[in-house]
Amino acid sequence: MRAAARLALLVALAGCTKPETPPGWKDYQPDAAAPDAAATAGRRKKLKLPPPTPPPARPAGEPKSAADLNALSDQAAEGQPVDKPGAPPIQRIDQYRLRVGQVFVDRKQRRVDIPSRLNMVEGILEYYAVASNGKLHESVLEVLPEPSHIHLGLLLVGLETTVWDRSDPNKMPSITKAGSPLDLYVEWTHDGKTRRERAEYFLYNRKAKGAPPPQTWRFQGSVFWNNRYAADLDRSVVGLIPDEQTVVNIVGDIGNPYRGDDLGYEVYKEHVPPKGTPVTLVLQARGDGEAPPLGAPLKGPVPPPPPAPIPGAPPTPPGAPPAIPSPPPP
């Protein structure tokens, strides 16, 4: 009873107490009503967006289709100068030899030499060679030239690209005519001498547990997207898995190494030289014959010939693939 009486007394006292206004609130006035939107519409400033920035103008001589690359090859083969802004730099050395950027082209021996460096000494692979800033985490070699220059070099030795059927957008493209076959070789300096092996020497077949036998490689030729050579954007040059954007691809598919321990290729770490070693990747056309000599001399200064082969390199007969010594046992 005493507790109830105390509670009733406290309630009565609370009801008689006058609430005090907190300090600083004496001059508080409620906000005026929001102004009518129609009344302020005229005072609002409209946001003006800047005009869209047009893409930079493409150089007139930059190839925008496979037909453009073919035309450049024909023009260079006829001895005409290729001097439009943006065109690949083509330099005549002699009757049969040219340079396309850093790519060395020999029409007599029908080979294309690509300066590269050893990129990986171990790990699984989806590519044999990519250009700088490409998929270097899964490629044996890093090549130095632009992929489109390699494409042009292969055209200059008389090779043809793969022809695709893309008539049905609901189906994967199919091959109607395979590109020209190639043999691939690698050359590097070992103990002061040039060592030459087949490109397969750097590969380890994860299922067969060893280096694969000689394979067939084909000049596929990359595709063009929005008038740009796709391999120049993707940086893929020589593929070990099906990929339309590579310049050259291996024939056949032994699987994706990311999907199983016995699928695909990896680096044959007992065969490759140290990481960063300069390597020349040689794309050698198969078959006999040679491309015809070049036409009239090009205008302008003639660049000096490439350096002479390092002593000890086996001679290469004209029109035939270089002799490849048998690889030593691992």
Distance CA 221, CA 239 (A): 11
The overall pTM is greater than 0.75: no
Q: What is the pLDDT of residue 322?
A: 42
Distance between first and last Cα of the chain? 102
188-191 own/partner pairs: CB under 8 Å, 24+ apart: 188/118, 188/273, 188/277, 188/278, 188/279, 188/280, 189/277, 189/278, 189/310, 190/273
pLDDT band at 60 (very low <50, low <70, confident <90, very high): confident
In the chain, the percentage of residues whose pLDDT exceeds 70 is 75
Could you read off the pLDDT of 3-25 as tens digits, one per residue?
666 666 665 555 555 556 666 55
Contacts of residue 232, defined as CB under 8 A and 6 or more positions apart, other chains included, come to 131, 146, 147, 148, 222
Tell me the C-alpha distance between 255 and 183, whole Å.
21
Q: CB of 107 within 8 A of CB of 294?
A: yes
Instruction: Please check whether residue 112 is in contact with residue 321, taking contact to mean a CB–CB distance below 8 angstroms.
Output: no
Please calculate the CA angle 132-138-143 and round it to the nearest 5 degrees: 30
* CA-based nearest residue to 314, from 147, 220, 185: 185
When pLDDT is cut at 50, 70 and 90, the band that residue 43 belongs to is: low
Q: How many CB atoms are closer than 10 A to CB 114?
A: 25
**Confidence check: pLDDT of 156 > 70:** yes
Distances in Å between the alpha carbon of 276 and those of 121, 142, 144, 200, 305?
10, 9, 12, 19, 25
**Beta pairing, strands 97-100 & 90-92:** antiparallel
Token readout for 229 is 């050579």
Give the closest residue to 288 by CA, choosing from 317, 313, 315. 317
Convert the pLDDT of each residue in 252-289 to its tens digit: 989 889 999 999 999 999 999 999 999 999 999 998 76
- CA–CA distances in Å: residue 142 to residues 30, 85, 119, 237, 329: 72, 27, 6, 9, 26
